[in-house]
Structure formats: C-alpha cells, structure tokens
Amino acid sequence: MYLFGLEEVDCYAVLEVANGRSILFVPEYPQDYKMWMKVSSLQEIKSLVGVDEVIYVDKLEEYLTQTKPVLII
C-alpha cells in the first residue's frame, strides 16, 4: 500500500531501477471469492495503480529466475 496505494494483501513489487519499470505481483483469487469480495483483473489493477505490469504471485519465482536481478532488497 505504501508504494502503490493498493489495498490488496500478500502483494509484492519489483522496481527495476535501471529502466524505471514497476511490476506488481498480486495473488490470484478463485472466482468463488467474488461472492465475498471484489476480484479485480490484472488490467484493472494495472489501471488503478499505474504500474507497468501486473503479474500473479505464483509467477514471481519464474520472473526472478529469468531476470536474474543483481540486488534484491
């Protein structure tokens, strides 16, 4: 919430300092959750918070393996 203003829990963010890209990783909720809470699409979240890309959390490890970051804080 501090960086992006998103009220969702269990999210992660990657800020690529070299190129200024921001990537938000959000949990993927089952469609059944729509009965109790608002389930936003990746595009809706991207438009809401203004990041370059939104990806589901289960792809975070794959992203880090592919990009091989030099520094993780």
Residue-wise DSSP of 5-42: ----SS-EEEEETTTTEEEEEE----GGGGGTS----H
pTM, 2 dp: 0.84
Count the domains in the chain: 1
pLDDT score, position 22? 93
Residue 73 included in any domain: no
pLDDT score, position 46? 94
Q: Could you state, in chain order, the average pLDDT of each consecutive group of 10 residues for the chain (73 residues)?
A: 78 89 92 82 92 96 90 73
pLDDT score, position 44? 93
Query: Cα torsion at 4, 8, 11, 15 (round to 10°)?
Result: -10
Q: Residue 56 sits in which domain range? A: 12-67
Residue 21 included in any domain: yes
pLDDT score, position 1? 62
Residue 7 included in any domain: no
Residue 5 included in any domain: no
Residue 72 included in any domain: no
